[in-house]
């Protein structure tokens, strides 16, 4: 079984969305983790937009990368440039993948405009994670 880590700056939004979709698409074919170089807590809007897509991430937690130094990861996916550039040395032989998704937590405007940005990022992450699972986990 493959171990997959999704890494972001605060493990609050993008990495939480990715963890939710990876678990959904991989089912029981991989162990999925997410972490940040900081810990900001799971964003309530992230929970809400995943509920809209039928996925419950309310039980996920915000974790620091140091918690996983001893896990033998097969893949590490960074979902923001800051995490890719600022991640402390992480002892792994994992295949490293990177895609910089827009940060919906930085969206401004009305609540409707902010939620639209969350949904847009959700769809980008959903597509990427489904492709990742199809190419690397279920093959």
> What is the set of active-site residues?
8, 80, 87
- What would the two tokens of residue 56 be? 């419950």
- Backbone phi, then psi, for 102, in 5-degree steps? -60, 145
- Backbone phi, then psi, for 33, in 5-degree steps? -130, 155
3-class secondary structure for 109-130? CCHHHHHHHHHHHHHHHHHHHH
């Amino acid at each position: 079984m493959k171990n997959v880590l999704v890494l972001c700056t605060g493990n609050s939004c993008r990495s939480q969305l990715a963890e939710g979709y990876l678990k959904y698409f991989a089912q029981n074919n991989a162990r999925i983790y997410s972490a940040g170089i900081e810990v900001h807590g799971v964003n309530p809007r992230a929970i809400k937009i995943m509920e809209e897509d039928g996925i419950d991430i309310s039980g996920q937690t915000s974790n620091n990368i140091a918690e996983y130094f001893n896990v033998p990861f097969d893949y590490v996916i960074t979902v923001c440039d800051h995490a890719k550039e600022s991640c402390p040395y992480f002892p792994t032989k994992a295949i490293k993948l990177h895609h910089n998704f827009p940060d919906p937590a930085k969206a401004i405007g009305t609540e409707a405009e902010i939620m639209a940005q969350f949904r847009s990022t959700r769809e980008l992450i959903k597509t990427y994670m489904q492709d990742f699972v199809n190419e690397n986990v279920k093959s």
